[in-house]
Amino acid sequence: MQKQNLLEVYDRIEPYVHNTPVMVSSAINQIIGTSVYFKCENFQRAGAYKIRGATNAMLLLTHAQRKNGVVTHSSGNFAQAVALAAKSLDITAHIVMPSSAPEIKRVGVREYGGHIYKCEPTLAARQAMADEIGQKTSATFLHPSNDENVIMGQGTAALELLREEPKLRFIFCPVGGGGLIAGSSLAAIHFGINCQVIGGEPFEADDAYRSLISGEIEGNDTANTIADGLKTTLGDKNFPIIKKHVSKIIRVTENEIIAAMRLVWERMKIIIEPSSAVTVAALLRDASEFPEVYRNKKVGIIISGGNVDLNNLPF
């Protein structure tokens, strides 16, 4: 049923998204001691996987809903994705963005024709402003991660990766709001062969790590991390999926994130954002701690995006 759903979602969004390339790097394989397959969603439309879920959710709106537009809040990548998907489907997009969002992501939203509303950089302020806009305009609220249709859409990146590399033993995903890792874990169960999904999270925003331990959705008191996409917390739609299917979450330091980002930029010549470097750092950490677990195994990594503010690099 879920498997059939995922395939339907994939067929639905396929005309609107790129089937992004899977890249390998012999230098990085040598460093990690395993075979790593990078699913390059940094090459996706609008520079991140988010367009998958946004497109799926919007294609499922009724005609009347489409006419009233959509509203969302996002620190950046989902904002751009909604703006671009809305443009493709001729829907009005209202986007609430925290004042702390990287300038490049605001520029992207503006270029795609989204209406931007700036708010204080807290989850409460974001949600309050989005609710207000929804009431005024009757726009449908799209949650960036805690929405079944969004979750299923995000899962199609792992689905494509597994079709290309069916024997992956692990798939690493970053954990922010939980949509990507929840969707990826569904894809891994239905399309993988004993494929485990592992999360990567900054120590500075390790809410998902703590949520898996406590069994409840935990928040972050602060989230002082360079991985600007991973400051959000899990939701009631994705947490049950994550609890059931994600085998572990590995936390990494800010220095590990920056070093992993530099490693991929220098060795693979591709631009990945800090939130994606978290996942690479998590694999580097785990493979150095448990080399025997990864030896001769195929490991997938969802490189979630490549939207970096070049005026504000960590090196």
CA distances from 227 to 138, 274, 313 (A): 33, 5, 12
Q: How many CB atoms lie within 10 A of CB 213?
A: 11
Q: Which residues of 77-98 are buried (b: 16+ CB within 10 A; e: fewer)?
A: bbbbbbbbbbeebebbbbbbbb
- The contact mask relative to a second copy for 40-79 (x = CB under 8 A, - = no) is --xx---x--------------------------------
* Binding-site member from 89, 104, 123, 259 for a second copy (CB under 8 A): 104
- The contact mask relative to a second copy for 12-41 (x = CB under 8 A, - = no) is ---------x--------------------
Query: Tokens representing 130?
Result: 């989005």
- The contact mask relative to a second copy for 226-265 (x = CB under 8 A, - = no) is ------------------------------------x--x
Query: Tokens representing 234?
Result: 């899990």
Give least dist CB 269 to a second copy, A: 4
Q: How many CB atoms lie within 10 A of CB 306?
A: 18
Choose one: 126-134, 160-168, 231-239, 303-311; the region binding a second copy (CB under 8 A).
Answer: 303-311
Q: What angle do CA 48, 236, 126 make, to 5 degrees?
A: 60
Catalytic residue among 50, 105, 231, 237: 50
Active site includes 100? no
Answer for the pair 156, 184: CB distance below 8 angstroms, yes or no. no
Give least dist CB 37 to a second copy, A: 15
Instruction: Please give the positions annotated as active site.
Output: 50, 75
Chain positions contacting a second copy, by CB under 8 A: 21, 42-43, 47, 104, 262, 265-266, 268-272, 306, 310-311, 313, 315
